[in-house]
Amino acid sequence: MAARGDKVYVDYLQNGYGKLIAAPLCVRPRPGAPVSMPLRWPQVTSRLDPARFTIETVATRLRKEGDPNAPLLGDPADVAHLLEALPALLEAGGSG
């Protein structure tokens, strides 16, 4: 993670036929019924144990810590405005 700095890796190759991506809060078909849990970056450490997030623990955790995805569900993006701005951003090098 340190090598990436502030960059986020998006594995676009996982978005295709026969690929399985677990949506947030999705129960996985594994022993113990683990749940795909959204996390905050500070929670992603070498001590992270995904087995702690199960169908039995998820409700308590969300009540205690809240849903990290909640801010994503606010006002929708103005896609028309973004598409209008795209050519200028690409012309400028796409770094904005």
Locate the domains of the chain by residue range: 24-73
Please provide the average confidence, as pLDDT, over all residues in the chain.
83
Output the pLDDT for position 49.
93
- Percent share of the chain, pLDDT over 70: 91
| pLDDT tens for each residue of 4-24 | 777 777 777 776 777 777 788
Q: If you search the block for the tokens 């991506």, which residue do you land on?
A: 21
Measure Cα distances from 90 to 26, 33, 58, 84, 93 in Å.
36, 44, 42, 11, 5
Distance, CA of 94 to CA of 8 (rounded, Å): 16
- Reported confidence tier of residue 95, pLDDT bands at 50, 70, 90: low
Output the pLDDT for position 8.
72
